[in-house]
Structure 1
Amino acid sequence: MGFLYSQLFVTPQYPTQPFTGQTVLITGANSGLGLEAARHITRLGAARVILGVRNVAAGKEAKEDIEKSTSREGICEVWEVDLASHSSVLAFGERMSTLPRLDAAILNAAVAKAEFSTAEGYEQSITVNVINSLLLGILLLPTLKATRQKNPSHTPRLSFVVSEVHAFARFPEWKEKQPMKVLSDKSTANMRQRYPLSKLLEVLLVQELAGRVRGSEVIINMINPGLCHSQLGREAGWELKLMKLLLARTTEVGSRTLVAGATAGLESHGSYMTDGHVENSAFSPFVRSEEGGQAREKLWAELEVILEGVRPGVMQIV
Protein backbone atom coordinates (compact mmCIF):
# COMPACT_ATOMS: atom_id res chain seq x y z
CA MET A 1 0.00 0.00 0.00
CA GLY A 2 2.85 2.38 0.80
CA PHE A 3 4.35 1.81 -2.67
CA LEU A 4 1.07 2.54 -4.47
CA TYR A 5 0.36 5.63 -2.37
CA SER A 6 3.85 6.98 -3.01
CA GLN A 7 3.70 6.36 -6.74
CA LEU A 8 0.21 7.74 -7.23
CA PHE A 9 -0.08 10.55 -4.68
CA VAL A 10 3.40 11.74 -3.66
CA THR A 11 5.56 14.06 -5.78
CA PRO A 12 9.10 14.61 -4.47
CA GLN A 13 9.94 18.27 -3.96
CA TYR A 14 11.56 20.16 -6.82
CA PRO A 15 15.23 20.79 -5.90
CA THR A 16 16.11 24.35 -4.93
CA GLN A 17 19.05 24.03 -2.51
CA PRO A 18 22.14 25.49 -4.20
CA PHE A 19 25.31 23.54 -4.99
CA THR A 20 27.30 26.75 -5.49
CA GLY A 21 31.01 26.05 -5.91
CA GLN A 22 30.64 22.33 -5.29
CA THR A 23 32.14 19.36 -7.13
CA VAL A 24 29.66 16.51 -7.57
CA LEU A 25 29.99 13.02 -9.07
CA ILE A 26 27.05 11.12 -10.54
CA THR A 27 27.57 7.63 -11.97
CA GLY A 28 25.24 6.25 -14.60
CA ALA A 29 24.79 9.86 -15.68
CA ASN A 30 24.38 9.47 -19.42
CA SER A 31 20.65 8.67 -19.20
CA GLY A 32 17.64 8.35 -16.94
CA LEU A 33 17.81 9.34 -13.28
CA GLY A 34 21.54 10.10 -13.35
CA LEU A 35 21.20 12.45 -16.30
CA GLU A 36 18.30 14.36 -14.78
CA ALA A 37 20.03 14.59 -11.38
CA ALA A 38 23.13 15.97 -13.10
CA ARG A 39 20.95 18.50 -14.90
CA HIS A 40 19.43 19.71 -11.61
CA ILE A 41 22.81 19.95 -9.89
CA THR A 42 24.30 21.86 -12.82
CA ARG A 43 21.29 24.21 -12.81
CA LEU A 44 21.76 24.76 -9.08
CA GLY A 45 25.22 26.24 -9.47
CA ALA A 46 27.72 23.41 -9.07
CA ALA A 47 31.21 24.39 -10.20
CA ARG A 48 32.09 20.92 -11.49
CA VAL A 49 29.80 17.98 -12.31
CA ILE A 50 31.51 14.71 -13.18
CA LEU A 51 29.44 12.33 -15.28
CA GLY A 52 30.73 8.83 -14.54
CA VAL A 53 29.69 6.73 -17.53
CA ARG A 54 30.48 3.42 -19.20
CA ASN A 55 29.57 4.74 -22.66
CA VAL A 56 31.71 7.84 -23.28
CA ALA A 57 29.94 8.78 -26.51
CA ALA A 58 26.58 8.75 -24.73
CA GLY A 59 28.18 10.69 -21.88
CA LYS A 60 29.29 13.43 -24.27
CA GLU A 61 25.76 13.66 -25.66
CA ALA A 62 24.44 13.97 -22.10
CA LYS A 63 26.96 16.72 -21.34
CA GLU A 64 25.87 18.71 -24.40
CA ASP A 65 22.21 18.24 -23.51
CA ILE A 66 22.74 19.41 -19.93
CA GLU A 67 24.77 22.43 -20.96
CA LYS A 68 22.23 23.43 -23.57
CA SER A 69 19.26 23.12 -21.19
CA THR A 70 20.96 24.96 -18.31
CA SER A 71 22.96 27.50 -20.34
CA ARG A 72 26.03 26.58 -18.26
CA GLU A 73 28.97 25.48 -20.38
CA GLY A 74 32.20 23.92 -19.15
CA ILE A 75 30.66 22.57 -15.93
CA CYS A 76 30.14 18.91 -16.85
CA GLU A 77 33.00 16.50 -17.45
CA VAL A 78 32.70 12.99 -18.87
CA TRP A 79 34.81 10.39 -17.07
CA GLU A 80 34.77 6.73 -18.06
CA VAL A 81 34.03 4.02 -15.51
CA ASP A 82 32.72 0.49 -16.05
CA LEU A 83 31.43 -1.07 -12.84
CA ALA A 84 31.66 -4.52 -14.38
CA SER A 85 35.46 -4.17 -14.30
CA HIS A 86 37.62 -4.02 -11.18
CA SER A 87 40.47 -2.36 -13.08
CA SER A 88 38.16 0.33 -14.45
CA VAL A 89 36.81 1.12 -10.99
CA LEU A 90 40.32 1.24 -9.53
CA ALA A 91 41.52 3.57 -12.29
CA PHE A 92 38.46 5.78 -11.85
CA GLY A 93 38.99 5.88 -8.08
CA GLU A 94 42.61 6.88 -8.60
CA ARG A 95 41.56 9.67 -10.94
CA MET A 96 38.93 10.88 -8.48
CA SER A 97 41.59 11.03 -5.76
CA THR A 98 43.33 13.83 -7.70
CA LEU A 99 40.36 16.17 -7.28
CA PRO A 100 40.97 19.16 -5.00
CA ARG A 101 37.49 18.63 -3.54
CA LEU A 102 34.50 16.31 -3.75
CA ASP A 103 31.34 17.54 -2.08
CA ALA A 104 28.89 14.83 -3.10
CA ALA A 105 28.88 11.51 -4.91
CA ILE A 106 25.69 9.85 -6.15
CA LEU A 107 26.39 6.22 -7.03
CA ASN A 108 23.51 5.52 -9.36
CA ALA A 109 24.93 3.09 -11.96
CA ALA A 110 23.33 -0.35 -11.87
CA VAL A 111 22.22 -3.23 -14.06
CA ALA A 112 19.05 -5.35 -14.11
CA LYS A 113 19.94 -8.54 -15.94
CA ALA A 114 17.35 -10.99 -17.24
CA GLU A 115 19.95 -13.54 -18.39
CA PHE A 116 22.81 -14.98 -16.37
CA SER A 117 26.27 -13.65 -17.14
CA THR A 118 29.42 -13.13 -15.11
CA ALA A 119 31.88 -10.30 -14.54
CA GLU A 120 35.06 -10.63 -12.50
CA GLY A 121 34.06 -14.10 -11.33
CA TYR A 122 30.62 -13.20 -9.98
CA GLU A 123 27.16 -12.92 -11.50
CA GLN A 124 27.15 -9.53 -13.19
CA SER A 125 24.40 -7.94 -11.06
CA ILE A 126 26.35 -8.86 -7.94
CA THR A 127 29.57 -7.43 -9.39
CA VAL A 128 28.07 -4.15 -10.59
CA ASN A 129 25.32 -3.39 -8.06
CA VAL A 130 27.09 -4.72 -5.00
CA ILE A 131 30.82 -5.46 -5.08
CA ASN A 132 32.08 -2.66 -7.30
CA SER A 133 29.52 -0.12 -6.08
CA LEU A 134 30.89 -0.63 -2.56
CA LEU A 135 34.47 -0.62 -3.88
CA LEU A 136 33.93 2.73 -5.57
CA GLY A 137 32.28 4.21 -2.50
CA ILE A 138 35.22 3.14 -0.35
CA LEU A 139 37.74 4.55 -2.83
CA LEU A 140 35.97 7.93 -2.70
CA LEU A 141 36.09 8.21 1.09
CA PRO A 142 39.57 9.79 1.41
CA THR A 143 38.70 12.62 -0.99
CA LEU A 144 35.33 13.17 0.68
CA LYS A 145 36.93 13.25 4.13
CA ALA A 146 39.67 15.61 2.95
CA THR A 147 36.99 17.95 1.60
CA ARG A 148 35.37 18.01 5.04
CA GLN A 149 38.69 18.90 6.67
CA LYS A 150 39.23 21.78 4.24
CA ASN A 151 35.64 23.03 4.59
CA PRO A 152 34.50 22.39 8.19
CA SER A 153 31.14 24.06 7.58
CA HIS A 154 30.16 21.51 4.92
CA THR A 155 29.83 17.74 5.29
CA PRO A 156 30.19 15.79 2.02
CA ARG A 157 27.58 13.21 1.03
CA LEU A 158 28.00 9.71 -0.37
CA SER A 159 24.66 8.48 -1.69
CA PHE A 160 23.90 4.99 -2.96
CA VAL A 161 20.81 4.62 -5.16
CA VAL A 162 19.01 1.50 -3.93
CA SER A 163 15.40 0.37 -4.44
CA GLU A 164 12.28 -0.51 -2.51
CA VAL A 165 12.25 -3.83 -4.38
CA HIS A 166 14.92 -4.97 -1.90
CA ALA A 167 11.94 -5.80 0.30
CA PHE A 168 10.66 -8.34 -2.22
CA ALA A 169 13.84 -10.43 -2.23
CA ARG A 170 14.25 -13.80 -0.57
CA PHE A 171 17.77 -14.46 0.69
CA PRO A 172 18.16 -17.95 2.19
CA GLU A 173 21.74 -17.97 0.84
CA TRP A 174 22.81 -15.65 3.66
CA LYS A 175 23.35 -18.75 5.79
CA GLU A 176 26.07 -19.99 3.42
CA LYS A 177 29.73 -19.27 4.15
CA GLN A 178 30.14 -17.15 0.99
CA PRO A 179 26.67 -15.91 -0.03
CA MET A 180 27.80 -13.86 -3.04
CA LYS A 181 29.80 -16.76 -4.42
CA VAL A 182 26.79 -19.07 -3.99
CA LEU A 183 24.58 -16.53 -5.79
CA SER A 184 27.01 -16.65 -8.72
CA ASP A 185 26.30 -20.32 -9.44
CA LYS A 186 24.48 -20.40 -12.77
CA SER A 187 22.79 -23.71 -12.00
CA THR A 188 20.83 -22.24 -9.07
CA ALA A 189 20.55 -18.54 -9.98
CA ASN A 190 17.01 -17.12 -10.10
CA MET A 191 17.44 -14.22 -12.47
CA ARG A 192 13.82 -13.09 -12.15
CA GLN A 193 14.62 -12.22 -8.54
CA ARG A 194 18.19 -11.12 -9.06
CA TYR A 195 17.78 -7.33 -9.27
CA PRO A 196 15.76 -7.10 -6.02
CA LEU A 197 18.23 -9.43 -4.33
CA SER A 198 21.24 -7.41 -5.51
CA LYS A 199 19.61 -4.31 -4.04
CA LEU A 200 19.01 -6.10 -0.73
CA LEU A 201 22.71 -6.99 -0.57
CA GLU A 202 23.63 -3.39 -1.39
CA VAL A 203 21.36 -2.06 1.37
CA LEU A 204 22.91 -4.40 3.94
CA LEU A 205 26.48 -3.54 2.96
CA VAL A 206 25.90 0.22 2.79
CA GLN A 207 24.38 0.02 6.27
CA GLU A 208 27.56 -1.66 7.47
CA LEU A 209 29.77 0.87 5.69
CA ALA A 210 27.87 3.78 7.23
CA GLY A 211 28.28 2.20 10.65
CA ARG A 212 32.05 2.27 10.19
CA VAL A 213 32.27 5.91 9.03
CA ARG A 214 31.44 8.89 11.20
CA GLY A 215 28.57 10.94 9.83
CA SER A 216 30.37 14.07 10.97
CA GLU A 217 33.04 13.28 8.33
CA VAL A 218 30.93 11.90 5.47
CA ILE A 219 27.15 11.45 5.41
CA ILE A 220 26.38 8.10 3.79
CA ASN A 221 22.77 7.45 2.83
CA MET A 222 20.58 5.28 0.62
CA ILE A 223 18.10 6.67 -1.90
CA ASN A 224 14.96 4.98 -3.15
CA PRO A 225 13.75 6.92 -6.21
CA GLY A 226 10.59 4.85 -6.62
CA LEU A 227 9.47 3.24 -9.85
CA CYS A 228 10.58 5.49 -12.70
CA HIS A 229 10.72 5.49 -16.46
CA SER A 230 14.35 4.67 -17.22
CA GLN A 231 16.49 2.28 -19.23
CA LEU A 232 17.30 0.16 -16.19
CA GLY A 233 14.55 -2.39 -16.79
CA ARG A 234 15.00 -2.66 -20.56
CA GLU A 235 15.85 -6.36 -20.26
CA ALA A 236 12.92 -7.05 -17.93
CA GLY A 237 9.70 -8.81 -18.91
CA TRP A 238 6.26 -7.52 -19.76
CA GLU A 239 5.17 -7.39 -16.09
CA LEU A 240 7.58 -4.54 -15.27
CA LYS A 241 6.76 -2.77 -18.54
CA LEU A 242 3.06 -2.85 -17.69
CA MET A 243 3.69 -1.64 -14.14
CA LYS A 244 5.76 1.25 -15.48
CA LEU A 245 3.02 2.17 -17.91
CA LEU A 246 0.52 2.41 -15.07
CA LEU A 247 2.57 3.70 -12.15
CA ALA A 248 6.03 4.99 -13.07
CA ARG A 249 7.26 8.49 -12.34
CA THR A 250 9.07 10.48 -14.98
CA THR A 251 12.85 10.33 -14.73
CA GLU A 252 12.92 14.04 -13.84
CA VAL A 253 10.58 13.53 -10.89
CA GLY A 254 12.51 10.46 -9.76
CA SER A 255 15.82 12.30 -10.03
CA ARG A 256 14.65 14.80 -7.43
CA THR A 257 15.16 12.09 -4.81
CA LEU A 258 18.81 11.71 -5.84
CA VAL A 259 19.39 15.42 -5.42
CA ALA A 260 17.66 15.27 -2.02
CA GLY A 261 20.12 12.58 -0.93
CA ALA A 262 23.05 14.76 -1.96
CA THR A 263 21.77 17.60 0.27
CA ALA A 264 20.31 15.62 3.20
CA GLY A 265 21.50 16.27 6.73
CA LEU A 266 23.15 14.13 9.38
CA GLU A 267 19.84 12.45 10.16
CA SER A 268 20.19 10.60 6.85
CA HIS A 269 23.50 8.95 7.77
CA GLY A 270 23.08 5.18 7.44
CA SER A 271 19.44 5.75 6.61
CA TYR A 272 16.97 4.95 3.86
CA MET A 273 15.41 7.84 1.99
CA THR A 274 12.22 7.59 0.00
CA ASP A 275 10.33 10.44 -1.71
CA GLY A 276 13.27 12.65 -0.66
CA HIS A 277 12.85 12.04 3.09
CA VAL A 278 14.38 9.70 5.67
CA GLU A 279 12.05 6.73 6.14
CA ASN A 280 13.85 3.93 7.96
CA SER A 281 10.58 2.09 8.51
CA ALA A 282 10.72 1.38 4.76
CA PHE A 283 13.69 -0.95 5.26
CA SER A 284 12.43 -4.48 4.73
CA PRO A 285 11.54 -6.58 7.78
CA PHE A 286 14.55 -8.78 6.99
CA VAL A 287 16.95 -5.81 7.02
CA ARG A 288 15.60 -4.80 10.44
CA SER A 289 15.66 -8.33 11.86
CA GLU A 290 18.29 -10.16 13.89
CA GLU A 291 18.88 -12.46 10.92
CA GLY A 292 19.40 -9.40 8.75
CA GLY A 293 22.12 -8.22 11.11
CA GLN A 294 23.82 -11.61 10.91
CA ALA A 295 23.58 -11.56 7.13
CA ARG A 296 25.11 -8.06 7.06
CA GLU A 297 28.12 -9.21 9.08
CA LYS A 298 28.63 -12.28 6.88
CA LEU A 299 28.38 -10.25 3.67
CA TRP A 300 30.85 -7.67 4.97
CA ALA A 301 33.34 -10.40 5.84
CA GLU A 302 32.99 -11.82 2.33
CA LEU A 303 33.30 -8.37 0.76
CA GLU A 304 36.50 -7.70 2.71
CA VAL A 305 38.12 -10.80 1.25
CA ILE A 306 36.96 -9.97 -2.29
CA LEU A 307 38.12 -6.34 -2.21
CA GLU A 308 41.44 -7.12 -0.55
CA GLY A 309 42.03 -9.49 -3.45
CA VAL A 310 41.23 -6.68 -5.89
CA ARG A 311 43.46 -4.11 -4.16
CA PRO A 312 45.41 -5.16 -1.07
CA GLY A 313 44.95 -2.70 1.79
CA VAL A 314 41.77 -1.12 0.43
CA MET A 315 39.69 -2.02 3.48
CA GLN A 316 42.02 0.01 5.68
CA ILE A 317 40.40 3.10 4.13
CA VAL A 318 37.17 2.40 6.01
Structure 2
Amino acid sequence: MAVRSIEKGEDAKRAIQESTGCEPDTVEVWALDLSSYDSVKAFATSAAAKLPRIDALIENAGIASVEWSMAEDNESMLTVNVISTFLLAYLLLPKLRETAARYNTRPNLTIVTSDMHYTVDFKEKDAPEGIFSCLNNPKKADMANRYPLSKLLEVFIVREMAAQRPAESYPVTINMTNPGLCDSGLGGTATRSLLAKIFYFLTARSCEVGSRNLAYSASAGPETHGQYLDRCGVQTPATITAGVVGMNTQRNVWDEVNAKLEKIQPGITKNL
Protein backbone atom coordinates (compact mmCIF):
# COMPACT_ATOMS: atom_id res chain seq x y z
CA MET A 1 0.00 0.00 0.00
CA ALA A 2 1.57 3.25 -1.17
CA VAL A 3 0.90 6.30 1.00
CA ARG A 4 2.11 9.85 1.35
CA SER A 5 1.67 9.71 5.14
CA ILE A 6 3.20 6.62 6.75
CA GLU A 7 1.23 7.34 9.93
CA LYS A 8 -2.10 7.27 8.09
CA GLY A 9 -0.96 4.24 6.15
CA GLU A 10 -0.25 2.35 9.36
CA ASP A 11 -3.70 3.33 10.63
CA ALA A 12 -5.22 1.89 7.45
CA LYS A 13 -3.13 -1.26 7.81
CA ARG A 14 -4.40 -1.79 11.36
CA ALA A 15 -7.99 -1.28 10.19
CA ILE A 16 -7.50 -3.89 7.46
CA GLN A 17 -6.01 -6.36 9.92
CA GLU A 18 -8.84 -5.84 12.40
CA SER A 19 -11.59 -6.19 9.79
CA THR A 20 -10.12 -9.17 7.91
CA GLY A 21 -8.04 -11.00 10.49
CA CYS A 22 -5.12 -11.15 8.07
CA GLU A 23 -1.56 -11.74 9.22
CA PRO A 24 0.51 -8.66 10.13
CA ASP A 25 2.83 -9.13 7.15
CA THR A 26 -0.02 -9.32 4.62
CA VAL A 27 -0.09 -5.54 4.15
CA GLU A 28 3.05 -3.46 3.73
CA VAL A 29 3.07 0.33 3.93
CA TRP A 30 5.43 2.09 1.54
CA ALA A 31 6.06 5.82 1.17
CA LEU A 32 5.08 7.50 -2.09
CA ASP A 33 4.63 11.21 -2.71
CA LEU A 34 3.33 11.97 -6.20
CA SER A 35 4.26 15.62 -5.84
CA SER A 36 7.90 14.51 -6.14
CA TYR A 37 9.25 12.80 -9.24
CA ASP A 38 12.18 11.44 -7.21
CA SER A 39 9.75 9.82 -4.79
CA VAL A 40 7.89 8.19 -7.68
CA LYS A 41 11.12 6.86 -9.17
CA ALA A 42 12.34 5.54 -5.82
CA PHE A 43 9.04 3.78 -5.15
CA ALA A 44 8.97 2.18 -8.59
CA THR A 45 12.57 1.01 -8.27
CA SER A 46 11.82 -0.63 -4.91
CA ALA A 47 8.61 -2.22 -6.16
CA ALA A 48 10.27 -3.68 -9.25
CA ALA A 49 13.17 -5.06 -7.22
CA LYS A 50 11.43 -6.30 -4.07
CA LEU A 51 8.04 -7.56 -5.25
CA PRO A 52 8.06 -10.98 -6.94
CA ARG A 53 4.98 -10.03 -8.97
CA ILE A 54 2.42 -7.25 -9.48
CA ASP A 55 -1.00 -8.53 -10.45
CA ALA A 56 -2.85 -5.24 -10.04
CA LEU A 57 -1.66 -1.66 -9.82
CA ILE A 58 -4.44 0.69 -8.72
CA GLU A 59 -3.43 4.34 -8.99
CA ASN A 60 -5.81 5.98 -6.57
CA ALA A 61 -3.81 8.96 -5.30
CA GLY A 62 -5.02 12.45 -6.10
CA ILE A 63 -5.42 15.94 -4.74
CA ALA A 64 -8.19 18.51 -5.13
CA SER A 65 -7.83 22.19 -4.36
CA VAL A 66 -9.02 25.57 -5.56
CA GLU A 67 -5.74 27.21 -4.54
CA TRP A 68 -2.89 27.65 -7.01
CA SER A 69 0.34 25.92 -6.06
CA MET A 70 3.24 24.35 -7.90
CA ALA A 71 4.79 20.90 -7.59
CA GLU A 72 7.86 20.14 -9.68
CA ASP A 73 7.30 21.87 -13.04
CA ASN A 74 3.50 22.03 -13.08
CA GLU A 75 0.51 23.22 -11.15
CA SER A 76 0.14 20.72 -8.30
CA MET A 77 -2.94 18.87 -9.52
CA LEU A 78 -1.37 18.40 -12.94
CA THR A 79 1.76 16.93 -11.37
CA VAL A 80 0.03 14.66 -8.86
CA ASN A 81 -3.11 13.61 -10.73
CA VAL A 82 -1.65 13.38 -14.21
CA ILE A 83 2.11 13.48 -14.75
CA SER A 84 3.26 11.47 -11.72
CA THR A 85 0.35 9.07 -12.11
CA PHE A 86 1.52 8.08 -15.57
CA LEU A 87 5.19 8.32 -14.62
CA LEU A 88 4.50 5.56 -12.10
CA ALA A 89 2.47 3.60 -14.64
CA TYR A 90 5.26 3.68 -17.22
CA LEU A 91 7.88 2.76 -14.63
CA LEU A 92 5.96 -0.31 -13.44
CA LEU A 93 4.53 -1.57 -16.73
CA PRO A 94 7.67 -3.69 -17.36
CA LYS A 95 7.05 -5.43 -14.02
CA LEU A 96 3.42 -6.03 -14.95
CA ARG A 97 4.45 -7.55 -18.27
CA GLU A 98 7.08 -9.65 -16.51
CA THR A 99 4.37 -10.93 -14.15
CA ALA A 100 2.17 -11.82 -17.12
CA ALA A 101 4.93 -13.81 -18.79
CA ARG A 102 6.28 -15.56 -15.71
CA TYR A 103 2.98 -16.55 -14.12
CA ASN A 104 0.80 -16.94 -17.22
CA THR A 105 -1.67 -14.35 -15.99
CA ARG A 106 -3.02 -10.99 -17.10
CA PRO A 107 -2.28 -8.11 -14.68
CA ASN A 108 -4.34 -4.94 -14.54
CA LEU A 109 -3.29 -1.29 -14.45
CA THR A 110 -6.23 0.73 -13.17
CA ILE A 111 -6.26 4.53 -13.13
CA VAL A 112 -8.81 6.01 -10.73
CA THR A 113 -10.57 8.88 -12.46
CA SER A 114 -13.88 10.62 -11.71
CA ASP A 115 -17.31 11.20 -13.17
CA MET A 116 -16.56 14.88 -12.67
CA HIS A 117 -14.77 14.74 -16.02
CA TYR A 118 -18.24 14.96 -17.62
CA THR A 119 -18.51 18.58 -16.43
CA VAL A 120 -15.45 19.93 -18.28
CA ASP A 121 -15.64 21.93 -21.51
CA PHE A 122 -11.81 21.97 -21.83
CA LYS A 123 -11.40 25.31 -23.57
CA GLU A 124 -7.63 25.01 -23.04
CA LYS A 125 -7.44 22.26 -25.66
CA ASP A 126 -7.22 24.90 -28.40
CA ALA A 127 -4.63 27.11 -26.70
CA PRO A 128 -2.05 28.20 -29.32
CA GLU A 129 0.77 27.95 -26.77
CA GLY A 130 -0.10 24.33 -26.00
CA ILE A 131 -2.39 22.66 -23.49
CA PHE A 132 -0.01 22.40 -20.55
CA SER A 133 1.56 25.81 -21.12
CA CYS A 134 -1.92 27.27 -20.87
CA LEU A 135 -2.85 25.18 -17.82
CA ASN A 136 0.39 26.16 -16.08
CA ASN A 137 -0.31 29.87 -16.49
CA PRO A 138 -1.73 31.12 -13.15
CA LYS A 139 -3.28 34.12 -14.90
CA LYS A 140 -5.41 31.83 -17.07
CA ALA A 141 -6.08 29.03 -14.60
CA ASP A 142 -9.67 28.09 -13.78
CA MET A 143 -8.93 26.43 -10.46
CA ALA A 144 -12.57 25.66 -9.69
CA ASN A 145 -12.52 23.24 -12.63
CA ARG A 146 -8.93 22.05 -12.36
CA TYR A 147 -9.65 18.81 -10.51
CA PRO A 148 -12.29 17.57 -12.99
CA LEU A 149 -10.03 18.67 -15.84
CA SER A 150 -7.18 16.60 -14.43
CA LYS A 151 -9.54 13.62 -14.42
CA LEU A 152 -10.49 14.27 -18.05
CA LEU A 153 -6.81 14.27 -18.98
CA GLU A 154 -6.52 10.83 -17.38
CA VAL A 155 -9.40 9.59 -19.53
CA PHE A 156 -7.70 10.79 -22.71
CA ILE A 157 -4.38 9.21 -21.77
CA VAL A 158 -5.78 5.81 -20.80
CA ARG A 159 -7.76 5.66 -24.03
CA GLU A 160 -4.67 6.45 -26.08
CA MET A 161 -2.52 3.95 -24.18
CA ALA A 162 -5.04 1.26 -25.09
CA ALA A 163 -5.17 2.47 -28.69
CA GLN A 164 -1.39 2.24 -28.91
CA ARG A 165 -1.35 -1.24 -27.34
CA PRO A 166 -4.55 -3.16 -28.26
CA ALA A 167 -5.76 -5.82 -25.83
CA GLU A 168 -5.33 -8.72 -28.23
CA SER A 169 -1.59 -8.10 -28.54
CA TYR A 170 -0.79 -6.73 -25.06
CA PRO A 171 -0.54 -8.80 -21.85
CA VAL A 172 -1.77 -6.09 -19.45
CA THR A 173 -5.29 -4.71 -19.14
CA ILE A 174 -5.21 -0.92 -18.78
CA ASN A 175 -8.48 0.62 -17.67
CA MET A 176 -9.90 3.47 -15.60
CA THR A 177 -12.56 3.57 -12.93
CA ASN A 178 -14.82 6.00 -11.11
CA PRO A 179 -15.39 5.31 -7.40
CA GLY A 180 -17.91 8.14 -7.29
CA LEU A 181 -18.15 10.83 -4.65
CA CYS A 182 -16.91 9.15 -1.48
CA ASP A 183 -16.76 10.53 2.02
CA SER A 184 -12.99 10.28 2.15
CA GLY A 185 -10.28 12.76 3.07
CA LEU A 186 -9.92 14.13 -0.46
CA GLY A 187 -10.13 17.89 -0.30
CA GLY A 188 -10.12 17.83 3.50
CA THR A 189 -13.03 17.22 5.83
CA ALA A 190 -12.40 19.57 8.73
CA THR A 191 -12.75 22.69 6.59
CA ARG A 192 -16.00 21.72 4.84
CA SER A 193 -18.80 24.23 5.10
CA LEU A 194 -22.06 23.20 6.71
CA LEU A 195 -23.67 23.03 3.26
CA ALA A 196 -20.87 20.79 2.00
CA LYS A 197 -21.20 18.52 5.01
CA ILE A 198 -24.94 18.16 4.37
CA PHE A 199 -24.27 17.48 0.67
CA TYR A 200 -21.76 14.76 1.49
CA PHE A 201 -24.12 13.22 4.05
CA LEU A 202 -26.94 13.03 1.51
CA THR A 203 -25.05 12.03 -1.64
CA ALA A 204 -21.61 10.58 -0.93
CA ARG A 205 -20.88 6.89 -1.09
CA SER A 206 -19.01 5.26 1.74
CA CYS A 207 -15.39 4.41 0.95
CA GLU A 208 -16.34 0.72 1.07
CA VAL A 209 -19.01 1.17 -1.59
CA GLY A 210 -16.69 3.27 -3.75
CA SER A 211 -13.95 0.67 -3.43
CA ARG A 212 -16.15 -1.93 -5.12
CA ASN A 213 -15.46 -0.23 -8.45
CA LEU A 214 -11.73 -0.38 -7.74
CA ALA A 215 -11.84 -4.09 -6.93
CA TYR A 216 -13.95 -4.78 -10.01
CA SER A 217 -11.67 -2.81 -12.32
CA ALA A 218 -8.47 -4.31 -10.94
CA SER A 219 -9.77 -7.81 -11.65
CA ALA A 220 -11.73 -7.17 -14.87
CA GLY A 221 -10.79 -8.83 -18.13
CA PRO A 222 -9.36 -7.56 -21.43
CA GLU A 223 -12.81 -6.44 -22.57
CA THR A 224 -12.27 -3.42 -20.28
CA HIS A 225 -8.96 -2.43 -21.90
CA GLY A 226 -9.04 1.35 -22.43
CA GLN A 227 -12.55 1.56 -21.02
CA TYR A 228 -14.14 3.89 -18.48
CA LEU A 229 -15.71 1.80 -15.71
CA ASP A 230 -18.40 2.78 -13.22
CA ARG A 231 -21.06 0.89 -11.25
CA CYS A 232 -19.00 -2.25 -11.92
CA GLY A 233 -19.44 -2.05 -15.67
CA VAL A 234 -18.24 -0.34 -18.84
CA GLN A 235 -19.70 3.15 -19.30
CA THR A 236 -19.40 5.80 -22.01
CA PRO A 237 -17.08 8.69 -21.08
CA ALA A 238 -17.84 12.35 -21.74
CA THR A 239 -18.85 13.32 -25.27
CA ILE A 240 -15.81 15.61 -25.46
CA THR A 241 -13.72 12.45 -25.87
CA ALA A 242 -15.69 11.27 -28.92
CA GLY A 243 -15.44 11.97 -32.64
CA VAL A 244 -12.70 13.63 -34.63
CA VAL A 245 -12.31 16.50 -32.18
CA GLY A 246 -12.05 14.10 -29.27
CA MET A 247 -9.45 11.98 -31.04
CA ASN A 248 -7.36 15.00 -32.02
CA THR A 249 -7.49 16.32 -28.46
CA GLN A 250 -6.57 12.89 -27.13
CA ARG A 251 -3.48 12.72 -29.32
CA ASN A 252 -2.43 16.24 -28.39
CA VAL A 253 -2.75 15.46 -24.68
CA TRP A 254 -0.85 12.21 -25.24
CA ASP A 255 1.98 13.93 -27.09
CA GLU A 256 2.38 16.64 -24.46
CA VAL A 257 2.31 14.23 -21.53
CA ASN A 258 4.80 11.90 -23.20
CA ALA A 259 7.11 14.84 -23.88
CA LYS A 260 7.00 15.76 -20.19
CA LEU A 261 7.66 12.18 -19.13
CA GLU A 262 10.65 11.95 -21.47
CA LYS A 263 12.14 15.05 -19.83
CA ILE A 264 11.73 13.45 -16.41
CA GLN A 265 13.28 10.15 -17.51
CA PRO A 266 14.56 9.86 -21.08
CA GLY A 267 13.38 6.73 -22.84
CA ILE A 268 10.57 6.01 -20.40
CA THR A 269 7.79 6.00 -22.99
CA LYS A 270 9.35 2.91 -24.55
CA ASN A 271 8.16 1.05 -21.44
CA LEU A 272 4.65 1.02 -22.83
**TM-score (normalised: structure 1):** 0.80
Are residues 1:181 and 2:133 paired? yes
Residue 58 of structure 1 corresponds to 8
1:210-225 correspondence to structure 2 within 5 Å:
210-215=162-167, 216-225=170-179
In the alignment, residue 183 of structure 2 is paired with which amino acid? Answer: H
Please state whether the residue corresponding to 1:234 is helix, strand or coil. Answer: coil
Residue 309 of structure 1 corresponds to 263
In the alignment, residue 95 of structure 1 is paired with which amino acid? Answer: S
Shift of residue 170, structure 1, vs aligned partner? 1.9
1:109-128 correspondence to structure 2 within 5 Å:
109-128=61-80
Gaps of 5+ in 1: 1-50
CA contact (8 A) 2:2 2:29 kept: yes
Residue 21 of structure 2 corresponds to 71
Q: Deviations over 1:121-145 (max 9, x none)?
A: 2110111111110111111100000
Shift of residue 227, structure 1, vs aligned partner? 1.6
Are residues 1:87 and 2:38 paired? yes
Q: Deviations over 1:97-117 (max 9, x none)?
A: 112211001100000012110
Q: Deviations over 1:286-310 (max 9, x none)?
A: 0113212111111111112111110
**Using the alignment, how far apart are the partners of 1:245 and 1:292 within structure 2?**
35
1:90-105 correspondence to structure 2 within 5 Å:
90-98=41-49, 99-105=51-57
Residue 114 of structure 2 corresponds to 163
Are residues 1:208 and 2:208 paired? no
Residue 293 of structure 1 corresponds to 247
Shift of residue 212, structure 1, vs aligned partner? 2.2
Residue 172 of structure 1 corresponds to 123
In the alignment, residue 234 of structure 1 is paired with which amino acid? Answer: G
- RMSD of aligned Cα (Å): 1.5
Residue 246 of structure 1 corresponds to 202
Please state whether the residue corresponding to 1:158 is helix, strand or coil. Answer: strand
Taking structure 1 as reference, are residues 237 and 291 closer, same or farther at Cα in structure 2, changes over 3 Å only? farther
Residue 225 of structure 2 corresponds to 269
Please state whether the residue corresponding to 1:105 is helix, strand or coil. Answer: strand
Taking structure 1 as reference, are residues 237 and 70 closer, same or farther at Cα in structure 2, changes over 3 Å only? closer
Identity in percent: 40
**Using the alignment, how far apart are the partners of 2:266 and 2:238 within structure 1?**
33
CA contact (8 A) 1:122 1:181 kept: no
Residue 39 of structure 1 corresponds to none
CA contact (8 A) 2:121 2:240 kept: no
Taking structure 1 as reference, are residues 241 and 122 closer, same or farther at Cα in structure 2, changes over 3 Å only? farther
Taking structure 1 as reference, are residues 276 and 118 closer, same or farther at Cα in structure 2, changes over 3 Å only? same
Q: Deviations over 1:132-171 (max 9, x none)?
A: 101111111000001110122x210000010111010121
Taking structure 1 as reference, are residues 170 and 237 closer, same or farther at Cα in structure 2, changes over 3 Å only? farther
Residue 137 of structure 1 corresponds to 89
**TM-score (normalised: structure 2):** 0.93
Residue 106 of structure 1 corresponds to 58
